[in-house]
């Protein structure tokens, strides 16, 4: 079976964007691959975060993984910080990464512009992400569009390392959803829906109260005109159509046909109803897991035990190839 790896960082509450762009696809394909999913908690340290909040968010991400349908009998589930091979390989890869290519990462540049005190960790973040992926010889990485550049770096580092030291890493490929690879903010549909915004009126959080979800969708910004079509000059409507299609498994064409002659109010009602239908059962399970944190810990411990040896062996191979004697 081919292997795949992906992760979410627990910097805030998960959004509908994380679900559509990523987790919902993992759930669909976990059985077809040797699947590995971690909570990328070391990545959350790259920005200022209160320790208590990080702990709570870390439980919340795993609770959401389980609530959305990831199953420890189908996938390995654990926390990045449990397996020290992640940062260890990160260091080794740092030494084959150029300052130039790390400086070109747009996610870093955007965050660095907003924050005065940028950590070295934030700059180095894509290299740690490359290490996460390259540790396990995975063929596929299911992610949303915003991670494409980071995956490209992982691919480049794998190729460069293989050329310099002999074949060591599998060069991974991204798996992107056909619809919903980038879900946008409902109040500003040219900006990504994000878990780390100060203002959440345009972001649907997976644990939002369902009345609030309804309100947020009803207040979503739409575009001039009245046609319900996915088009560049209609970012608001296109975003609502993407959400609708991703959650109903319809194509954009089918949805456009369904909404032909209808008004924006009708579109929003339909989106409200599919989003609520999706979130309701997830929230019930999420609450159950958040009340059973010991269970989350047990799953993570079992996950770590299953995966640790592979990661360790890979780091050993890399160290040997680079000439380290122990």
Q: How many residues does the chain have?
A: 326
Say whether 139 is catalytic: no
CA distance 26 to 246: 14
Closer CB to ligand TYM, 32 or 260, in the complex: 32
CA distance 128 to 134: 10
Say whether 192 is catalytic: yes
Please report the beta strands in the chain, taking only residues with DSSP state E, as ranges in sequence order. Answer: 3-8, 34-39, 75-79, 140-142, 173-175
Nearest-10 crossing angle of helices 148-165, 120-134: 70
Closer CB to ligand TYM, 126 or 291, in the complex: 126
Q: Which stretch binds ligand TYM (CB under 6 A): 19-27, 222-230, 253-261, 271-279?
A: 19-27
Catalytic residue (one of 195, 268, 304, 314):
195
The residues, ordered by sequence, that sit 6+ positions from 325 with a Cβ below 8 Å of its Cβ are: none
Q: What torsion, rounded to 10 degrees, do the Cα atoms 131, 136, 140, 144 define?
A: -40
Closer CB to ligand TYM, 17 or 214, in the complex: 17
Q: From the list 13, 43, 216, 304, which residue makes contact with ligand TYM (rule: CB under 6 A)? A: 43
Residue 314 has which token pair? 């890979």
CA distance 14 to 200: 12
Interface mask (CB under 6 A) for ligand TYM, residues 216-245, using x and -?
Answer: ------------------------------
Q: How far is the CB of 23 from ligand TYM (least distance, A)?
A: 7
Q: In b/e form, how buried is each residue of 163-176, taking b as 16+ CB within 10 angstroms?
A: eebeebbbebebbb
Closer CB to ligand TYM, 147 or 187, in the complex: 147
The residues, ordered by sequence, that sit 6+ positions from 224 with a Cβ below 8 Å of its Cβ are: none
Catalytic residue (one of 192, 216, 268, 314):
192
Interface mask (CB under 6 A) for ligand TYM, residues 192-211, using x and -?
Answer: xx------------------
Check: CB of residue 185 under 8 Å from CB of residue 23: no
Considering the rule CB under 6 A, would residue 40 count as an interface residue with ligand TYM? yes
Q: Which stretch binds ligand TYM (CB under 6 A): 2-10, 91-99, 274-282, 305-313?
A: 2-10
CA distance 13 to 22: 15
Closer CB to ligand TYM, 34 or 227, in the complex: 34
Q: How many residues bind ligand TYM (CB under 6 A)?
A: 26
Residue 163 has which token pair? 């050329």
Say whether 195 is catalytic: yes
Closer CB to ligand TYM, 147 or 278, in the complex: 147
Residue 208 has which token pair? 């939002």
Interface mask (CB under 6 A) for ligand TYM, residues 109-148, using x and -?
Answer: --------------------x--xx-------x-xx-xx-
Catalytic residue (one of 111, 139, 250, 319):
111
Check: CB of residue 177 under 8 Å from CB of residue 144: yes
Interface mask (CB under 6 A) for ligand TYM, residues 157-196, using x and -?
Answer: ------------------------xxx--------xx---
Q: CA dist 312 to 12, 48, 123, 128, 317, Å?
A: 30, 30, 25, 16, 9
Considering the rule CB under 6 A, would residue 22 count as an interface residue with ligand TYM? yes
Closer CB to ligand TYM, 19 or 259, in the complex: 19
Contacts with ligand TYM by CB under 6 A lie at 5-9, 17-18, 20-22, 40, 43, 129, 132-133, 141, 143-144, 146-147, 150, 181-183, 192-193
* Residue numbers annotated as active site: 111, 192, 195
């Amino acid at each position: 079976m081919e292997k795949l790896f992906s992760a979410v960082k627990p910097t805030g509450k998960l959004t509908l964007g994380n679900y559509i762009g990523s987790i919902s696809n993992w759930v669909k394909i976990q059985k077809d691959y040797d699947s590995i999913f971690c909570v990328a908690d070391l990545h959350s340290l790259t920005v200022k975060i209160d320790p208590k909040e990080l702990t709570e968010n870390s439980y919340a991400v795993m609770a959401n993984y389980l609530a959305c349908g990831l199953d420890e009998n189908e996938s390995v589930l654990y926390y990045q910080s449990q397996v020290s091979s992640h940062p260890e390989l990160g260091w080794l890869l740092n030494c084959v990464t150029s300052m130039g290519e790390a400086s070109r990462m747009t996610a870093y540049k955007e965050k660095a512009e907003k924050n005065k005190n940028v950590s070295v960790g934030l700059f180095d973040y894509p290299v740690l992400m490359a290490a996460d992926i390259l540790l396990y010889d995975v063929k596929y990485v299911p992610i949303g569009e915003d991670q494409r550049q980071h995956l490209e770096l992982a691919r480049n580092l794998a190729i460069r390392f293989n050329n310099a030291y002999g074949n060591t890493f599998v060069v991974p490929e991204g798996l992107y959803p056909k619809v919903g690879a980038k879900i946008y903010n409902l109040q500003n549909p040219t900006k990504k829906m994000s878990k780390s915004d100060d203002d959440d009126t345009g972001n649907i959080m997976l644990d939002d109260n369902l009345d609030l979800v309804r309100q947020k969708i009803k207040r979503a910004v739409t575009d001039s005109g009245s046609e319900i079509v996915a088009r560049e000059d209609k970012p608001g409507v296109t975003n609502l159509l993407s959400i609708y299609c991703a959650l109903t498994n319809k194509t954009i064409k089918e949805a456009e046909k369904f909404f032909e002659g209808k008004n924006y109010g009708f579109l929003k009602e339909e989106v409200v109803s599919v989003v609520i239908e999706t979130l309701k059962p997830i929230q019930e399970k999420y609450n159950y897991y958040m009340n059973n944190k010991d269970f989350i810990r047990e799953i993570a411990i079992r996950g770590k035990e299953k995966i640790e040896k592979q990661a360790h062996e890979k780091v050993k191979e890399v160290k040997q190839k680079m000439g380290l004697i122990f």
